[in-house]
Structure 1
Amino acid sequence: MLNSLFGRIKICNVIRTYQADSLNPEQVGKTEDALKKLLPEAIITFDLKDDKKLIRIENIPFDSDLVIEKLEELKIFCSLISDDILTDNLLNTSEQMHDFWDSAFLRHQTMWGFEPANSAIYAKNFFLQNGVENVLIPGIGYGRNAGLFIDNGIEVTGIEISETAIRLAAQKYGEELIIRQGSVTEMPFESRTYQSVFCYGLLHLLTPPQRKKMIHDCYSQLEEGGWMIFAVLSKKSPNYGKGRKIADDTFEVGNGGQIFFYEDQSVQEEFNQYGFTDFIEVDEQVNVRTQKPDFRFLMIKCRKPVNNKT
């Protein structure tokens, strides 16, 4: 869903080229008709010169697995050999992020449902074990993970850039949930401190300076003895390496999105000065077709020390 979400917000296209094992001119018409039913707006071209047997598809970002499956139904077996993204604009500024996410929530509404993420379940259990009574959730969205904490007696305050997402959250939770409207890159929005911070699936979408500032700002809003947990994508995640590489462990996804994938060294570098304790791996979002997880996350835990000076 993450890759397709980034792809559907902007109108810029991708061109994907497939190498077929066998494809003759007589098959072209039927193949194009089948692909047009799958991707009605796509521009589809065939290159059969010199036995190349290439199929090129230009469209808004789409699921290549569906294309390959459709071709296999026609007894045409192929593989993706290139994936060119036709944009150089990355979603870095607050204005861009606002437009992106508000458009996403307008179009897809409660796109992930209200079943909490595995990472949120872990965080809830950990917070309860440590006596946490309130939590700050930057990038709360429409509150997918909020209900889990609320139902277990943990007061939730969120930060969210999209007015549409805030409206959706209000419809679900009413006054049980407080959300500050704004970008996480512009924290803090209040002077209050919290016993815990939980941030799911957001930090890895930011640039290095934005990540550094956000970690610092979250830590600053943490009470002494408080915990913060960040759920970020791991280098072991199945989607690592997909898209155009733009920096070390950083790849462009869809049209304008970017993802940074964490491993032990980068976790240490970014979190050591903020009370880092440990991390665990958590799998998320089982693919209904493969029955394998689409993503692997790192749950990074930090604790703010208690100042015992009197």
Structure 2
Amino acid sequence: MTASFRDPGAWERDYLQRGRLWGGAACDLPAIPPGSRVLEIGCGNGKTYTSLSGKGVSVVGLDISPSAVALCRCASAEGAPLLVADAGVLPFRDRIFDAVCAFHVVGHLKAAGRKDVAGEIARVLKGGGKLYFRDFSERDMRYGKGTGVEAGTFLRGEGILTHYFSESEVCTLFSALHPCALETCTWSLRVRGKDLPRAEVVAVFEKLG
């Protein structure tokens, strides 16, 4: 373990205690051309990873939690390319992936960590490669819940950080890439008889050149 490797901390504890945190089949998957080489950052227990693997693309899964990777491996085909690593220091050469999927992972880092991951994503994408990004919006019902750590970033009781993005902030974070699509998607979640707003920023960026 290198000095730059972030402590999996709360995520590792959560997976150890609760096992498979995310169930069901992944929906709204990006239309990635068959034969593409894809990196999923934050593969977790494999909900998105296994769905992508069935779409005719070659997927490499990465997570900082050893327990998450072990669970993902159990749910995947034998020999599936999965590894425990820090997304802020990706163990891959430059320009190797046709696409990177980062769904609800970048927002669990502080500002410096988000910047590191954004830089690494831009580095490993091929020219013409795309980033598919999804993370919670500042319009989400949980914004402001917990202990404030940084602007827009809160620590909740389970020890997991969550940052809530604006659309402009996402564009700034991935300024090395060209924005192809950017929107805030909203829906309602009924809790104790009340409809509460959920919201996430969904974006696609392309590496030019």
TM range (shorter): 0.7 to 0.9
- Number of residue equivalences: 205
Mapped partners of 1:99, 1:244: distance in 2? 17
Unpaired stretches in structure 1, ≥5 consecutive residues: 1-92
Pick from 76, 91, 104 the counterpart of residue 189 of structure 1.
91
Q: Give how far 1:237 is off.
A: 0.9
Q: Give how far 1:132 is off.
A: 6.3
Deviations 1:52-85 (A, max 9, x none): xxxxxxxxxxxxxxxxxxxxxxxxxxxxxxxxxx
Q: Give how far 1:103 is off.
A: 1.6
Contact 1:284 1:296 in 2 (8 A): yes
Q: How does 1:191-230 map to 2 (within 5 A)?
A: 191=93, 193-230=96-133
What amino acid maps onto 1:222 in structure 2?
Answer: L
Seen in structure 2, the aligned counterparts of structure 1 residues 162 and 280 have a Cα distance that, compared at 3 Å, is same
Contact 2:42 2:64 in 1 (8 A): yes
Pick from 248, 254, 259 the counterpart of residue 162 of structure 2.
259
Over the aligned positions, Cα root-mean-square deviation in angstroms equals 2.5
Q: Does 1:171 align with 2:81?
A: no
Per the normalisation by structure 2, the TM-score is: 0.86
Q: Does 1:106 align with 2:27?
A: no
Q: Give how far 1:271 is off.
A: 1.9
- Indicate the residue corresponding to 1:234 in structure 2: 137
Q: Give how far 1:158 is off.
A: 1.0
What amino acid maps onto 1:165 in structure 2?
Answer: A
Q: Give how far 1:300 is off.
A: 2.0
Unpaired stretches in structure 2, ≥5 consecutive residues: none
Contact 1:150 1:176 in 2 (8 A): no
> More displaced, 209-218 or 171-180?
171-180
Deviations 1:115-158 (A, max 9, x none): 21x4xx242x3x24xx6622101111111111221111111101
Mapped partners of 2:147, 2:116: distance in 1? 25
Aligned identity (percent) is: 19
Per the normalisation by structure 1, the TM-score is: 0.60
Mapped partners of 2:63, 2:184: distance in 1? 26
Q: How does 1:6-25 map to 2 (within 5 A)?
A: none
Q: Give how far 1:253 is off.
A: 1.6
Q: Give how far 1:111 is off.
A: 1.5
- Indicate the residue corresponding to 1:148 in structure 2: 51
Contact 2:64 2:84 in 1 (8 A): yes
Mapped partners of 2:188, 2:97: distance in 1? 29
Seen in structure 2, the aligned counterparts of structure 1 residues 174 and 305 have a Cα distance that, compared at 3 Å, is same
Deviations 1:180-208 (A, max 9, x none): 212222x2212261100001111111111
> More displaced, 295-304 or 243-252?
243-252
Mapped partners of 1:105, 1:208: distance in 2? 24
**Which has the larger share of helix?**
1
Q: Which contiguous aligned blocks of 4+ residues in structure 1 show a shift greater than 6 angstroms?
A: none
